[in-house]
A = this chain, B = another copy of it.
Amino acid sequence: MYKSHTCGELTAAHIGKEVTLAGWVQKTRDKGFMVWVDLRDRYGVTQLIFDEERTPKEMVLKAKELGREFVIQITGKVIERESKNNQMPTGEIEILVTHLKVLNASLTPPFTIEDKTDGGDDLRMKYRYLDIRRNPVRENLIFRHKVSMEVRKYLSDKGFVDVETPYLIKSTPEGARDFVVPSRMNEGQFYALPQSPQTFKQLLMVGGMDKYFQIVKCFRDEDLRADRQPEFTQIDCEMAFVEQEDILETFEGLTRHLLKEIKGVTIDKFPRMTYDEAMQRYGNDKPDIRFGMEFGELNDVAQHKDFQVFNQAELVVGIAVPGGSIYTRKEIDALIDWVKRPQVGALGMVYVKYNDDGSYKSSVDKFYNESDFEKWTEKTGAKPGDLICVLSGEKNKVRAQLSALRMELANRLGLRKSNDFAPLWVIDFPLLEWDEETQRYHAMHHPFTSPKPGQMELLKTQPGEVKANAYDLVLNGNEIGGGSIRIHDRKVQEQMFNYLGFTPEEAQAQFGFLMEAFQYGAPPHGGIAFGLDRLVAILGGQETIRDFIAFPKNNSGRDVMIDAPAIIDEDQLKELHLKLDL
Contacts and interface: CB of A to CB of B under 8 A. Distances in A.
- Count the copies: 2
Given A2-B242, A145-B161, A161-B141, A210 B42 contact: yes
Interface string A239-281: 0011100100000000000000000000000000000000000
Interface residues of A, number: 125
A261 B221 CA distance: 42
A523 interface: yes
Given A190-B568, A521-B71, A581 B579 contact: yes
A580 B186 CA distance: 12
Interface string A171-200: 101000111111111111111110000011
A142 interface: yes
Interface in A205-252: 206-210, 217, 219, 221, 223-224, 230-231, 233, 241-243, 246
Contact residues of A: prevailing secondary structure: loop
A485 B3 CA distance: 17
A103 B579 contact: no
A73 B551 CA distance: 48
B551 A208 contact: no
A185 B41 CA distance: 39
Interface stretch (A10-18, A77-85, A496-504, A512-520): A512-520
Interface string A100-118: 0001111101000000000
Interface of A: 1-3, 22, 24, 40-42, 69-71, 73, 103-107, 109, 127-133, 138, 141-142, 144-145, 148-149, 152-153, 156, 161-171, 173, 177-193, 199-200, 203-204, 206-210, 217, 219, 221, 223-224, 230-231, 233, 241-243, 246, 488-489, 512-513, 517-524, 549-551, 553, 556-559, 561-569, 572-582
The 4 residue pairs across chains A and B that have the minimum distance between CB atoms: A132-B207, A106-B521, A170-B564, A189-B565
